[in-house]
Amino acid sequence: MSAADIATLESRARERYSDAEWQTRTDLAACYRLIDHFGYSDIVWNHITARVAGHDEYFLINRMGLRYDEITASNLVKLDIEGNVIDGPDEVNVTGFIIHSAIHRKRPDIVCVLHTHTRGGLGVSALKCGLQPMVQDALMFHKRIAYHDYEGFSIDIDERERLAASLGDKYAMIMRNHGLLTAGRTIGEAFMLMYYLERACTIQMDVMATQQKISLPEEAMLAHVAEQYQQFCPGKYEWPALVRLMDKKDPSYRE
């Protein structure tokens, strides 16, 4: 599809929204499609949210019942921090509201929150040892990953306080016996943190399955590499490339 065709798709739907909100909507819809593209989606479950630009008290989430490959910029639902629907159908996953509002209401620096039930993430979430620094991808999370104990389905409004407390000032969390959560100051950052975290988890499960002795770097090297990672901003270079990928594959997310 040409650039002109993509522009036509956008112009049909964007009249209701400011330029800033529409950009957030298209980026978030692209994120949903990318999660599906990389095999991280779970039929109609899980959720990704983004704070609405210019309206910090609102965030966007997927409509309940849609697959990630069906998400578009215009069919996202806008909620306020207490779960009231501001724009869109009243069909939202309750656990999505609980988990994501917990972070958005306590962390004004966070724009996007991403939660998955991936194979690697679920595997590591069940391990008492948690994420291990086996490969470089895992080292970016060394002493920079949080854990939240399992509380069943996240439908208790009181869990919001505990979720936010568990995450603290970090940008990645393993929800024990449940899955992974990443948060970013941009949508691209949240996505790339999930990409690297899921890959680290998958590799860890593969390596542990060999039952061979595992070589781990010394603590000084772990700290050194984790600090090196702080010089880079996940998503700065990857996100534009990923958006181009979605535009090439299926730009209907822009509708």
Whether 128 has a pLDDT exceeding 80, the answer reads yes
Classify residue 14: in a domain, yes or no. Answer: yes
Q: Which residues pair with 180 in a beta bridge?
A: 116, 174
pLDDT at 3: 64
Flag whether 107 is in a domain: yes
Confidence at residue 255, expressed as pLDDT on a 0 to 100 scale: 93
| Mean pLDDT, residues 150-164 taken together | 94
Mean per-residue pLDDT, 9-16: 68
pLDDT at 13 over 80: no
pLDDT of residue 57: 93
pLDDT tens digits, 94-107: 999 999 999 999 99
255 found inside a domain? no
29 assigned to some structural domain: yes
Say yes or no to pLDDT of 182 above 90: yes
The pLDDT of residue 9 is: 59
210-232 per-position pLDDT tens digit: 999 999 999 999 999 999 999 98
The CATH number covering residue 125 comes to: 3.40.225.10
Average pLDDT over residues 117-140: 97
In a domain, residue 253? The reply is no
* pLDDT tier at 90, thresholds 50, 70, 90: confident
**pLDDT surpassing 90 at residue 165:** yes
State the average pLDDT for the chain: 94
**Residue 242 φ then ψ, to 5°:** -70, -40
Residue range 14-72, pLDDT digits in tens = 678 999 999 999 999 999 999 999 999 999 999 999 999 889 999 999 999 999 999 99
pLDDT at 1: 54
Instruction: Give a yes or no: residue 254 inside a domain.
Output: no
Domain around 157: 3-247
Domain count, the chain: 1
Residue 93 scores a pLDDT above 80: yes
Q: Count Cβ atoms below 10 Å from residue 172 Cβ, excluding itself.
A: 22
pTM of the complete model: 0.94
Strand 85-87's sheet: what is its strand order? 85-87, 77-80, 55-61, 47-52, 112-116, 179-184, 172-175, 146-148
